[in-house]
Amino acid sequence: MSVIERIKDQIENNPVVLYMKGSPDFPQCGFSGQTVQILGACHAKFMYVNIFEDPELREALKEYSNWPTYPQLYIGGELVGGCDIVIDLYQKGELAKMLAAVGAIEE
């Protein structure tokens, strides 16, 4: 399976995917940490990929998404964006709606 096929598989088979630096328990950049906190505040269920553990994926995802920075949040197979966009959507109440629409809110 090529790296692009792996990315597509992850995004298509998980309602919410966060490509981040580090892990939710140990984020390795402030933006990744903030994004995890916001997802937590929304009680979101999500899959994460630590881009530091897969340099090939880290480079390929930039091309796949046409988005140069991390974290990258995907909901329902679509790129939502990075930390600033996630914060904005959260503050407007839109993020919770997007998560609920794909069944990614824990009761």
| Residues tagged in the binding site annotation for [2Fe-2S] cluster | 29
What are the beta bridge partners of residue 93? none
CA distances, 66 to each of 26, 62, 79, 82, 102 (Å): 26, 5, 10, 12, 23
Structure tokens at 103: 């069944």
Query: Which residue carries 């402030």 as its tokens?
Result: 30
Q: Which residues are annotated as a binding site?
A: 29
